[in-house]
Structure 1
């Protein structure tokens, strides 16, 4: 019999992401009423905002009708409209909880959230049971499914009615035992800008797992009208946008301005639409150039943007677009150093060649090494940190470009006094082409990323390791 008057309450099950819910049901002599799915109340209590697109009902005439065990590549919200079931759920995802089992009776006063890859099955305990479920993807014959035999000895589900005495389809009877089940892999992760310095660091950090894909601009054109059908986007859990136009001075030219807005805004807008439509987490890498650098303290994630040049304007516009995506991480960084030509390698080469450089000393910030940036992005995704903006740079004392140059000279066995500090205006006085305005203060506050459980690498330590590696 349905229990009336229970408070709305989630109950953890021991299988990650599988959550049983008690539902308030209001009844009188006319019958009963419940809110079977109420987004605002349920998400406030921790339910994933999973974006259902379809509502299905399976009506079962007889007691003992048994279905499953099916793991699908989408999330489900399961309840019953009438009747009662015994439900059994088995984790069929890759990972340490593969094979874990949870069982419970479900009547109209209960529901359960079943995450992607958890096998779902049930047995009816009353006649005329209407089993109802919301899903966040449309059924597709090309989707990847995983199955487990209802009678598997390892799962050892204690069915209320013996399987020999119930109605089961021939297909369900033919599903494999647990030892023969191919676990469902995680939802796909797509890394864009795979050949860039951050893209290469992400490849080193995330590896070549089957569910991680890498794409260059030539392989996936984000401004193409066919982008919506370029992938089966519902198979993706995350997109990491490591692609960007970063030629800050060239962006001040007519051609560069067009290219910067195309890559940093139009392409980002297309990604934001895809991510929003398909419930994908979008990771977007931003820049200290969204600020004008006039603050006398480190910039926080909540400071208003005030970009000086075209590059900073396009990055700020991209940030605003990504912020509209329900599941997003805007990772704001500065002074990025990775593979390929960069400031640190240039200074090391000058030191070795006996050149005494003049280096800007009125811009202050922190270096960010791409391996640390990739590590932080992975941390946000794997820990499901709260969505939003995160500053992520190297840790330690801020320094000017001239200070960093002297540190490179010193760590490579050369006299740091060979580096002469000059102002930004002096440095660019003889420039032959357009020069983008630079923020003088590029220091970003790191409290939020630390609160999310990630400790950025110390800049000095990372610089030493980078030079030793080279």
Structure 2
């Protein structure tokens, strides 16, 4: 079969998710032919979800004889397979955990065709012409400690129809002894690392994602994000996502010399280290931001595109973290406001005061919306599983903006107490007798929630009641 000249660059999906066939333009004449085997800009702009997978190694397997057969090998990295000369029959089997485990796809490949093989999909081929040069790009360096998965070429359940019978060709003893499908241990997905696992958001993420071998929940004691050894603390190529739920959130203490140091270490230095690791290893970095990156002087709600203008140290460190994370090719920045989670929070404090007969003074000149940690966790999972566009998302409860005073009165009402017991005061009045430094607060913390543009979660009586009664 002669190489097909003059084709346009097209991509075709297969029954195996992520396994993509490419028809390559090959230009030839009496002297031979030329092709662009991998052209990043053109190939990632085809409309099919062909990732910019970042190859770091190019391997070539030269095969003298027709019928040379190799496989089936599933590796913990992505491969871009093509041939420089000759022709192969290729067979791919999905060996990843999931509904498509065991799915098979076969096709022939000559120099005018290529195939993108995602991590965990078993790869095998049989040469159909002599002097076939089989070549592949991979996005990780080969490692003897990496986790591999194999399948026997002759497995009856997948039933690959090899053009040349396997009993007539040369196959390595190692390939002959690979397990049947029933005995294959599926390759798990890339790992997810959740930092700050003991915090309010960390606990919500544990409840949302559950406990699985490929999900790692790390506390500061498990993993010091400010350590110079962080780049070698894990085999980072095994990770697909880092969800950074670790942060310094003591807004007022951040205004002290010691607090400033801790805030910058946790919210900037650690974030910069994670960002470098994510960028270097093709990891998706999820970062939770804050309304404090704005000064609160805008008329109307803040959009993700609004310029950052923080007031105090905490806001400055969060804004710096946002800027760093935005440089990571695969990133989600979730901008939140007035976060309420499991543990001590404003809602539970107001419920406790009501029960103890205390009549609080509550700030009435700061406006925003609550954000529940459970909703942040659900949103993170939704963004990751839907493979939403990378970028900045506003995440708060939906509904009309309110003040802290309004929320306190509602908590009193819901717990059967007179909301008139709550007195509204200005921010200046509330902090007039503060013993230590007070961080400046944005008066307007309202984040815009557009139709289909930003992720949001509804706030209803049942949601608030979860935290009032817990």
SS at match of 1:447: coil
Q: Is the 8 A contact 1:65 1:168 kept in 2?
A: yes
Corresponding position of 1:48:
51
Which secondary structure state, in structure 2, belongs to the residue aligned with residue 172 of structure 1?
Answer: helix
Shift of 1:411: 1.0
Pairing 1:104–2:137 present: no
* Structure 1 position 82 matched with structure 2 position 85: yes
- Distance in structure 1 (CA, Å) of the matches to 2:184 and 2:297: 59
Q: How does 1:44-443 map to 2 (within 5 A)?
A: 44-45=45-46, 46-443=49-446
Is residue 348–residue 467 contact of structure 2 (8 Å, CA) maintained in 1? Answer: no
| TM-score, length of structure 1 as denominator length | 0.98
Gaps of 5+ in 1: none
CA distance in 2, matches of 1:51, 1:143: 18
Partner of residue 458, structure 1: 459
Corresponding residue of 1:31: 32
CA deviations 1:218-249 (Å, max 9, x no partner) are 21111111111110110000000000011111
Please report the TM-score for the alignment, with normalisation by the length of structure 2.
Answer: 0.98
Report deviation, 1:465.
2.9
- In the TM superposition, residue 84 of structure 1 has moved relative to its aligned partner by 0.6
User: Match for residue 5 of structure 2?
Assistant: 4
Task: For 1:383 and 1:186, locate their aligned partners in 2 and report how far apart those are by CA, in whole Å.
Answer: 16
Deviation at 1:297, TM superposition (A): 1.4
* SS in structure 2 at match of 1:390: strand
Q: Take 1:146 and 1:18, find their aligned partners in 2: how far apart are those partners?
A: 17
Q: How far apart are 1:455 and its partner, in Å?
A: 5.0
Residue-by-residue CA offset, 1:85-138 (whole Å, 9 max, x unaligned):
111111111111111111111111111111110111111111100000000101
Deviations 1:375-413 (A, max 9, x none): 111111111111111111111121100011011111111
* Offset at residue 431 of structure 1 (A): 0.9
Contact 1:396 1:460 in 2 (8 A): no
Q: Secondary structure at the match of 2:303?
A: coil
- Aligned-residue CA RMSD (Å): 1.1
After TM superposition, give the deviation of residue 64 of structure 1 in Å.
0.6
Cα deviation for residue 459 of structure 1 reads 4.8
CA contact (8 A) 2:12 2:22 kept: yes
> What residue number does 1:16 align with?
17
2:168 and 2:345 mapped to 1: Cα distance?
71
8 A Cα contact 1:366 1:459, kept in partner: no
What is the deviation of 1:39? Answer: 0.8
Structure 1: which 4+ aligned runs deviate by more than 3 Å?
A: none
Q: Distance in 2 between matches of 1:387 and 1:72?
A: 26
Is 2:397–2:456's contact at 8 Å kept on the other side of the alignment?
no
Q: Which whole-Å deviations, capped at 9, do the CAs of 1:137-160 have from their partners, x for residues lacking one? A: 011111101111111111111111
SS at match of 1:190: strand
**Which secondary structure state, in structure 1, belongs to the residue aligned with residue 80 of structure 2?**
strand
Cα distance in 2, alignment partners of residues 305 and 148 from structure 1: 53
Where 1:302 maps in the other structure, the secondary structure is coil
Displacement of 1:447 in angstroms is 2.6
Secondary structure at the counterpart of residue 443 of structure 1:
coil
Unaligned runs of 5+ in 2: none
- Aligned residue for 2:44, secondary structure, equals helix
Distance in 1 between the 2:78 and 2:237 partners? Answer: 11
1:367·1:459 contact (CA, 8 Å) conserved in 2?
Answer: no
Give the number of aligned pairs.
467
Q: 1:71 to 1:77 in 2, by over 3 A?
A: same
Task: Work out the CA distance in 2 between the residues paired with 1:272 and 1:256.
Answer: 23
State the alpha-carbon separation in 1 of the partners of residues 302 and 170 from structure 2: 64
Could you tell me how far apart the structure 1 residues matched to 2:225 and 2:460 are?
A: 34
Once the 2 structures are TM-superposed, how far is the Cα of residue 451 of structure 1 from its aligned partner? Answer: 4.2
State how far apart, in whole Å, the 2-side matches of 1:261 and 1:313 are: 9
The alpha-carbon deviation at position 196 of structure 1 amounts to 0.5
Contact 1:293 1:440 in 2 (8 A): yes
CA apart distance, 1:442: 0.8
| CA distance in 2 between partners of 1:194 and 1:208 (Å) | 12
- Contact 1:245-1:259 within 8 A present in 2 as well: yes
CA distance in 1, matches of 2:172, 2:405: 74
Secondary structure (helix, strand or coil) at the match of 1:414 reads coil
